[in-house]
């Protein structure tokens, strides 16, 4: 079963993969790492302009490490989940201090970097260095759930069974495994999508357990929807926008103007301070973090 999946999916990828800057040889391991941080929960279309600007400004980890962490938050713009910017800055500092400014190729060393979890370590090792690792993002999990497990959606959180299946599906050859990781991810992003799946364009539709079972409706726990309007996350974004655009400390009054509800606004600001994204100063002033 597994080998019958590999060849058609990789062939499809060879023909249909998007030409993305982090897939080009010039991107290097640092470009791959930056893309992986930015693409978490953020679509490619929003990442592309920020990615290009980021790599033009900080082409190597040491270039970013020299900057204040607040500059990473500023450059992150409106990508959302700005703690990723702080984590990427922290990883750049660690790469500079521990690895001479070169992104390590060893999976364990990648995993030991601050802000890098199992997925990112596996993705960088696979996509940047062509190694054999199971790379499980939402798109890959959905492809495996449908093609092999025969269900419409994977569980809300990655399970041990999913990790075991991903390892079982890995091709033995290292370079083929790395290609398979990228190909299965792209298939989930472009064809086997969460809604309006394109089975007529899928290279493994004839083998897909979910399609062969008649596409049964999702029977598991309700899938988590992502809301934004009116949430603390929206308020945090508005507060950060004021600080990103300012190059001097901002008074409380300027932050108060961005959201009408004082309790929620204070809670959001407290959360930003606790997360290290905002630095309070004497006199009721706030700025992006300097250190």
Backbone angles phi, psi at 285, to 5 degrees: -100, 155
Tell me the C-alpha to C-alpha distance, in Å, between residue 225 and each of 214, 222, 228. 25, 9, 10
* Other CB atoms within 10 A of residue 131 CB: 18
Buried b / exposed e along 145-166 (16+ C-beta atoms within 10 A)? bbbbbbbbbbeeebeeebeebb
Structure tokens at 110: 């990648």
* Other CB atoms within 10 A of residue 231 CB: 13
3, 36, 168, 217: which one is catalytic?
36
Whole-number Å distance between alpha carbons of 291 and 286:
14
Concerning whether 67 is annotated as a catalytic residue, the answer is: no
Tabulate helix, strand, coil % of the chain (nearest 5): 60, 5, 35
Tell me the C-alpha to C-alpha distance, in Å, between residue 72 and each of 65, 91, 241, 263. 10, 12, 13, 28
Task: With H, G, I as helix, E, B as strand and everything else as coil, classify residue 285.
Answer: strand
**DSSP code per residue over 50-99:** HHHHHHHH-SSHHHHHTS-HHHHHHHHTTSS-THHHHHHHHHHHHHHHHS
Structure tokens at 252: 């409380």
Buried b / exposed e along 253-288 (16+ C-beta atoms within 10 A)? eebeeebeeeeebeebbebbeeeebbbeeeeeebbb
Residues identified as active-site: 36
């Amino acid at each position: 079963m597994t080998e019958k999946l590999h060849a058609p999916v990789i062939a499809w990828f060879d023909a249909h993969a998007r030409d993305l800057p982090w897939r080009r040889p010039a991107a290097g391991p640092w470009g791959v790492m930056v893309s992986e941080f930015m693409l978490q929960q953020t679509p490619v279309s929003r990442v592309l302009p920020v990615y290009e600007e980021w790599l033009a400004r900080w082409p190597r980890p040491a270039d970013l490490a020299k900057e204040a962490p607040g500059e990473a938050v500023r450059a992150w713009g409106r990508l959302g989940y700005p703690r990723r910017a702080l984590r990427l800055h922290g990883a750049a500092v660690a790469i500079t201090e521990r690895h001479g400014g070169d992104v390590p190729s060893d999976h364990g060393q990648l995993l030991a970097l601050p802000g890098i979890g199992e997925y990112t370590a596996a993705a960088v090792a696979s996509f940047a260095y062509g190694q054999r690792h199971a790379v499980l993002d939402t798109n890959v999990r959905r492809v495996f759930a449908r093609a092999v497990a025969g269900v419409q959606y994977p569980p809300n959180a990655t399970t041990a069974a999913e990790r075991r299946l991903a390892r079982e599906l890995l091709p033995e050859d290292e370079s083929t495994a790395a290609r398979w990781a990228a190909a299965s991810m792209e298939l989930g992003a472009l064809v086997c999508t969460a809604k309006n799946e394109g089975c007529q364009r899928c290279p493994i539709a004839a083998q897909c357990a979910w399609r062969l079972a008649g596409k049964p409706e999702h029977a598991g726990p309700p899938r988590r929807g992502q809301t934004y309007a009116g949430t603390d996350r929206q308020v945090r974004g508005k507060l950060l926008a004021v600080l990103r655009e300012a190059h001097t400390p901002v008074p409380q009054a300027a932050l108060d103007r961005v959201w009408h509800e004082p309790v929620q606004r204070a809670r959001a600001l407290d959360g930003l301070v606790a997360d290290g994204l905002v630095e309070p100063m004497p006199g009721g002033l706030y700025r992006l973090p300097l250190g």
